[in-house]
A and B are shown apart, each in its own frame.
Chain A
Amino acid sequence: MKRSPILFFLFVGIISVTASGTITLGQRYPLGIMPSALIKVENSSGTYFVTLVKGDSELVVFDTSFRPITIFDSMRNDGINDLIYRDGKLYCFGFYSGRVIVVDVSGHPSKWKKSDEIPTSSRLITGSFIDGKVGMLTNDFEFLLLDISKREIIKRQELPVIALSIAEDSEFFFVSLFHNYNLLTSSHETEKGLLVFDEWGNLIKEADIGKRPSYILLGGEKIFLVSYVEENLKILSKSDLAEITTVQLGKYPNFPVIHNGKIWIALTGEDQIMTVDLETYRTQEFDLMGRGPIKVVHNGDRIYVLETITGTLEVLDSRGNTIEYVELDGYPVDIVFSGKEVAVLLQEDWQTGKNTGALQVIRN
């Protein structure tokens, strides 16, 4: 009987390699047009996942098993472009209506309701919070500061071009001017690339930073700014906006995240993901099986990559080796995790050939 344990472990070894982490596709829920974000909401009633269906300007709420619970469709005329979750409320930014819709998300989703609608007279893109005040970017070349409790715009700053990204720390809003470079004329609309506003909406700093600065990340005393045209990552000092270094990335860098001392970024045009060490600024590329990666998300020791051209989810181990490759039949844009279940948001449904989106549930 001495050989039995050896054989047993041998078998376990074989099985763990062949069957490790097999992903299976679960239920697929059709959604409306252009679902664009999945947000986790926790309240006294439970945990829920909210997706913004941008094209239909409605919210669809799922439970932790990703079963649809309710559709919040009373903002259909607002053209909600983005939303943020803060202090038990969802703040939805109306692109068409120019209103900030506050949705009270306490209790069961069937009881969620609009608690406020604050007009701004501008087409809202996105926003972020500092201490009860929302800094917002508009499609009308503005930075707005809204005092939520007073329900009034306390500052309206004109911007030279449309800005798309805003980040905040405890004191300042950081705004990148995406449209600072005109591709048709190959010239700058403005040399400015980064603006810093204080919590009262006053412009206190600005910097001439590259062409089409897009995503902003804040980490410690540094600002990380992705340039879309120059295809690089600029690292600046938060105190004086001085450039510390520039790291070359690749074509169409998208959705950078900071994880374990590194910036992880999807290089959509390179079919790669890349890491940038925040201490040494050394980079490392990881080739992918799929094409058109748009987002990298970490869960445990695994790396999940959403790929838009092949319409796939690729799972990598901590060393960057592909261990799973799942065809999703759609254009994945977001992913969330709930226990052993994973949900991927698809903007198009290639499986049915329809032009609407879907939520694809996956079991790990």
Chain B
Amino acid sequence: MRKVALLFLLVPVFLLFTGCSSPFITRDDFIARMDSIEQKIDSLALGQRKIAQLEDAVQELAFRINFVQAIEPTYAGYEELEALRAELQIIKNMLAESVIDSASSAAIVKTLYDKIDGVLTGSVENDIITREIDDLNRKVQALESLNSSRYSELVQRISEVGSYDSSIDEAKYEELLQRIEEIKNTETIVVQQKPENADDRYDELLQKIEELSARTDTSLVDSAKYDSLARRLAELEQTVGSSVIDAEVFNEFVSRIEEMDSRTRELASNLEAIEQQEEPEQREFVTMATFLGEISDIRSRLGAAAYETIEPTSYVSYIVKSGDNLWSIAQAYGVTVEQLKAVNKDVKNWDLIYRGDEIKIPLSLDNLMAKASVATHFGLNLGVDFLVDSIESNFGSYDYGYANPGMDLTVPPGSRITAFLPGKVILSERVNDLYGEMVVVDHGNNIKTVYARLGSRTVVKGDFVRVGDTIGSASDAKGNLHFEFWKADVPVNPADIIFENLGTFEVTMYTEWDDAKNPTSPSFKMTASGDFVKGYRTVAADPSLIPLGSIVYIPFFSSSPNKGFFVVEDTGSSIRGNKIDVYTHDFDIASNFKEDLLVYVVKKP
């Protein structure tokens, strides 16, 4: 009997020492804890799945980057750009010398536009790819950040589970020690009490030992569960461990991006080397920004050349459309029928005018297109901040992947859009998503205007409009007015209509450091007008030509944050005549920049 009792005592002790759980954790508590741990494991598994998804996403991004890397880096191919620039320069010179007549300009313009579009389409595609790479970089950073937070979460959870499990172990160990002590004491008592002197107390002790044994049996079952749990935890650790290895994917990904970056730098450096080799005395960068600036400038010149063909005649030449009559034409242009008859003496029978006939209208286009009044038709004021905020896309910019033939503005919602020249509505309908509600007006003299993205139209095809007649209203969307001005099928920069073209200026750049001033100096960054220089705003000019405080527009800088608008705030000892010095923070740009550019005056003080 004593051996049996000892056996009952030693078995649980043995089992407990070999790692079984405490026999004194109740089944309910244990199951509750197990449930809790399993929930945590499920949560961890969910986290794992999310990480796996993230990794898949990153892999996909990596493939996309590989794809992008595989594309030949033709970003603004140097030779092609140079060739086109040379051609642009020839056209520029021809324009300057007025060699191109209005008859041949359309063909030249078309050819040139095709070439420009050919190069720019490719370059814009590359630009888009570059933007996509930037976008991918941002996404990767976001993913890394997200992944990092997931890791953090996982670590937190693992730590919680670990500490929870450890706490169980410790408590269990303590309890075990305590119970073992109790069992030992019980054993001592049992041994001390002789069986032959057995009494109730002895039976009670035996019962207690049996109970202990029973609990030990229970713990055997539970320890199996514990073992299972331990295995699952070990698996989890391994899985989590593998996600650590997967972090290498991120590193590899980052290194690929770095590699790509270094390749780009290498390419840029090669390009620079070629430039230096060809033009050792003058270091010049052919960047996409510079090239687009030149395109904006040349497009404006072409438009200006076409615009200049608008003779300062004393009449408007109107081509009769279907449904026109003498009275309607006279009313549209605000003249009397008698005035029309007086200048159209070759028309013998006014009851018989046909489509395609030319009617002279005794009006001066110069008067009609007075600069100050034109802007009012678009709801514009000529403050520099208003203009910068209003102009969404400038003439000739490639914001939409093609050269903008007009100007996109954001005018106050609900603004009345009015015709600034008299003419006949030849189109009034919703065209497509890009142009939206659109009105086209033929003004005669081969001039057409396009008003698009209107909120509503108030004219229909065939209507005549007079100066100031409402043709529609602006919506509350951004870029709610797209305006184009066409002369002889050549798009004219609306700046030519709204602003005063001053012709070509030699434009250079300067910085606040140019005269080795010191930031502690009261005159540091201070201009001749007493204002402080600001990037994308301040220019120096000859005040006898452009007074201080004037706003100027330089199409070359249309893609800059200031949309090409500057304020004449400074002067310079070497800035005399047709010269403009543009302030910039960047001394590298300043020291290399010198261009002959078209300049407009928006407003004089």
Contacts and interface: CB of A to CB of B under 8 A. Distances in A.
A353 B240 contact: no
B353 interface: no
A232 interface: no
A292 interface: yes
B584 to A, nearest CB: 9
B269 to A, nearest CB: 16
A78 interface: no
B244 A14 contact: yes
Given A34-B525, A308-B585, A354-B385, A1 B233 contact: yes
B513 interface: yes
A34 B532 contact: yes
Given A291-B586, A331-B585, A350-B561, A268 B513 contact: yes
A88 to B, nearest CB: 25
Interface stretch (A2-10, A64-72, A201-209): A2-10
Contact of B519 (A4, A183, A254): A254
A353 B162 contact: no
B30 interface: no
A292 B584 CA distance: 12
Interface string B225-242: 000001001100100110
Contact of B162 (A1, A10, A125): A1
B155 A350 contact: no
Contacts of A125: 520-522
B206 to A, nearest CB: 38
A249 to B, nearest CB: 14
A353 B560 CA distance: 11
A98 to B, nearest CB: 12
B516 interface: yes
Nearest to B154: A11
Nearest to B561: A353
Contacts of A333: 519
Nearest to B512: A308
Most A-side CB within 10 Å, residue of B148, B518, B585:
B518
A82 to B, nearest CB: 8
A33 B148 contact: no
Interface string B117-161: 000000000000000000000000000110011011011001100
B340 interface: no
Contacts of A19: 145, 148-149, 152
A55 interface: yes
B144 A18 contact: yes
A125 B166 CA distance: 69
A296 to B, nearest CB: 14
Contact of A15 (B148, B166, B230, B585): B148
Contacts of A55: 531-532
Contact of A8 (B144, B158, B389, B519): B158
Interface string B385-400: 1001100000000000
Nearest to A126: B520
A39 B516 CA distance: 27
Interface string B518-537: 11111001000001101111
B148 A348 contact: no
B253 to A, nearest CB: 13
Contacts of A214: 518, 520
A255 interface: yes
Contact of B244 (A11, A34, A308): A11
A18 B143 CA distance: 12
A294 B152 contact: no
B29 interface: no
Contacts, number: 111
B513 A269 contact: yes
Interface size band for A? 35 or more
B159 A8 contact: yes
Nearest to B515: A183
A262 B344 CA distance: 89
A95 interface: yes
B562 interface: yes
A197 interface: no
A15 B243 CA distance: 13
A51 interface: no
Contact of B158 (A4, A34, A229, A353): A4
A293 to B, nearest CB: 12
Contact of B535 (A11, A33, A212, A350): A350
Contacts of A294: 519
Nearest to A268: B513
B244 A165 contact: no
A309 interface: yes
Interface in B225-269: 230, 233-234, 237, 240-241, 244, 247
B311 interface: no
B165 interface: yes
A1 B168 CA distance: 12
Nearest to B389: A353
B587 interface: yes
B585 A309 contact: yes
Contacts of A139: 522
Interface in A244-291: 252, 254-255, 268-269, 291
Given A34-B532, A178-B521, A292-B586, A229 B516 contact: yes
B532 A33 contact: yes
A99 B154 CA distance: 64
A252 B511 CA distance: 12
10 residue pairs, one from A and one from B, having the closest CB atoms: A11-B155, A4-B162, A355-B534, A18-B148, A34-B532, A214-B518, A164-B520, A309-B585, A309-B586, A81-B522
Interface of A: 1, 3-5, 7-8, 10-12, 14-15, 18-19, 33-34, 55, 81-82, 95, 123, 125-126, 139, 164-165, 178, 183, 212, 214-215, 228-229, 252, 254-255, 268-269, 291-292, 294, 308-309, 311, 331, 333, 347-348, 350, 353-355
18 contacts: A1-B230, A4-B159, A5-B162, A10-B244, A11-B152, A14-B151, A15-B148, A18-B151, A55-B532, A95-B522, A164-B518, A228-B518, A252-B513, A292-B586, A309-B587, A311-B585, A331-B535, A347-B532
